[in-house]
């Protein structure tokens, strides 16, 4: 989900909740919490310089229950400094002042939780339980971002910015939430439709569906539970199949299976391979034996994530590795 949506959703919920009267400062705290954890792009450089720290990436460390709280506290502390909000106030000609106290931190964390839930619904997943586990959780329902949602979110922000009757702002916020939930409902229905339209044969036993930017187009992945996959795009409106390809999890050129396995075992301990596997749940390997060792290319054959599609490492016969 985009940054605008992550601001609007907690802001809208706090505005529309009839439970108690939240002031504009409270609602802003929720919105700021909502956007705080996407400022993780600042950390990307750390992960880039040191591949061992691959959790320092977008949708990495800050997208967890524990570090989401830490991030929200830091973000709220910074934005509640008079010099910071003063500068923003001057720029946008509106008062965005928030306090730094238990209440505002709690509301910011509420914004973080909404953000985590929304990103969980998107493909690729997020490490919710970090530092206890590196597992990425994903419902694979929405694509990373949705152009229509982003554009509507910008319009809603404009409505919030303008000096309009609060009644109209509430209508806009309600409309936005209804739109998001409807898109989710349609996607859930189309995903079930895509899965139920398939018949497994040729030894394939499992099937999963991944979202694309088009809610009527799904990337289907069939597996035989061992080493073979079939990938294709299924359109739920026309019932058509496109881009069909079969993938072996391991293809070996020139060398023996055992020797390739040993090289892969070693390569799996390398930070760049660990990093790649962490972002690519479906990795296949092309292994080519050369006079000096093994060239191993790890590639993502589903391609439902952003970032590198493949990584190649060279494992020398004496196991000293050279990265290409
Ligand atoms: Zn995010």
Nearest CA-CA partner of 37 in 5, 4, 11, 69: 69
Instruction: Answer for the pair 273, 287: CB distance below 8 angstroms, yes or no.
Output: no
Tokens representing residue 323 in the block: 């990265």
Query: 262 C-alpha to center of ligand 1: Å?
Result: 37
Backbone angles phi, psi at 231, to 5 degrees: -120, 135
How many angstroms separate the CA atoms of 225 and 50, rounded? 34
Query: 304 C-alpha to center of ligand 1: Å?
Result: 16
Query: 146 C-alpha to center of ligand 1: Å?
Result: 13
pTM: 0.91
Query: 298 C-alpha to center of ligand 1: Å?
Result: 26
Q: What is the pLDDT along the chain (324 residues), one digit of tens a residue?
A: 899 999 999 999 999 987 667 889 999 999 999 999 999 988 888 887 888 888 888 889 999 999 999 999 999 999 999 999 989 989 988 888 999 999 999 999 999 999 999 999 998 899 999 999 999 999 999 998 889 999 999 999 999 999 989 899 999 999 999 999 999 999 999 999 999 998 888 888 999 999 999 999 999 999 998 889 999 999 999 999 999 999 999 999 988 888 899 999 999 999 889 988 888 878 999 999 998 899 999 999 887 666 778 899 999 876 655 554
Q: Report CA 9 to chain centroid distance, whole Å.
A: 17
How many angstroms separate the CA atoms of 310 and 273, rounded? 10
Q: Which residue has the tokens 């914004």?
A: 111
Give ion ligand 1 contacts, CB < 5 A: 38, 119
Instruction: Answer for the pair 218, 210: CB distance below 8 angstroms, yes or no.
Output: yes
Instruction: Answer for the pair 29, 109: CB distance below 8 angstroms, yes or no.
Output: no
Query: 33 C-alpha to center of ligand 1: Å?
Result: 11
Query: 318 C-alpha to center of ligand 1: Å?
Result: 42
- Count of other CB atoms within 10 angstroms of residue 53: 16
- SS3 helix, strand, coil % of the chain, rounded to 5? 50, 20, 35
- Count of other CB atoms within 10 angstroms of residue 15: 20
Nearest CA-CA partner of 224 in 238, 243, 205: 205
List the chain domain ranges. 3-187, 199-248, 250-323
Length of the chain: 324
Query: 110 C-alpha to center of ligand 1: Å?
Result: 14
**Cα three-residue angle 263-231-279, rounded to 5 degrees:** 50
Residue 232 vs residues 53, 143, 194, 310: alpha-carbon distances, Å: 33, 17, 11, 19
Query: 61 C-alpha to center of ligand 1: Å?
Result: 11
In sequence order, what E strands does 91-157 have? none
């Amino acid at each position: 989900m985009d940054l605008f949506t992550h601001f609007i959703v907690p802001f809208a919920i706090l505005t529309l909740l009839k439970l108690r009267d939240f002031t504009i400062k409270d609602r802003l705290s929720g919105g700021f919490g909502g956007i705080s954890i996407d400022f993780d792009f600042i950390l990307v450089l750390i992960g880039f310089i040191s591949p061992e720290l691959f959790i320092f990436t977008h949708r990495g460390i800050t997208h967890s229950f524990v570090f989401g709280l830490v991030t929200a506290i830091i973000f709220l502390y910074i934005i509640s400094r008079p010099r910071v909000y003063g500068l923003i106030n001057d720029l946008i000609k509106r008062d965005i002042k928030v306090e730094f106290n238990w209440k505002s931190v709690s509301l910011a964390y509420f914004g973080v939780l909404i953000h985590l839930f929304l990103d969980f619904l998107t493909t690729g997943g997020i490490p919710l339980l970090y530092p206890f586990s590196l597992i990425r959780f994903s419902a694979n329902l929405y694509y990373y971002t949705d152009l229509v949602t982003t554009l509507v979110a910008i319009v809603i922000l404009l409505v919030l910015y303008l000096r309009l009757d609060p009644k109209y702002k509430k209508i806009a916020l309600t409309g936005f939430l209804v739109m998001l939930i409807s898109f989710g409902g349609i996607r859930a229905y189309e995903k079930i439709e895509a899965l139920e339209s398939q018949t497994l044969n040729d030894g394939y036993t499992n099937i999963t569906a991944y979202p694309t930017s088009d809610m009527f187009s799904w990337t289907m992945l069939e597996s035989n539970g061992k080493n073979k996959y079939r990938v294709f795009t299924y359109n739920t409106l026309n019932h058509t199949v496109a881009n069909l390809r079969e993938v072996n999890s391991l293809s070996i050129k020139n060398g023996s299976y055992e020797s390739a396995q040993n090289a892969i075992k070693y390569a799996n301990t390398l930070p760049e391979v660990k990093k790649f596997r962490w972002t690519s749940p479906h990795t296949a390997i092309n292994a080519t034996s050369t006079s000096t060792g093994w060239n191993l290319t790890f590639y993502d054959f589903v391609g439902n994530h952003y970032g590198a599609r493949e990584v190649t490492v060279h494992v020398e016969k004496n196991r000293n590795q050279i990265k290409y």
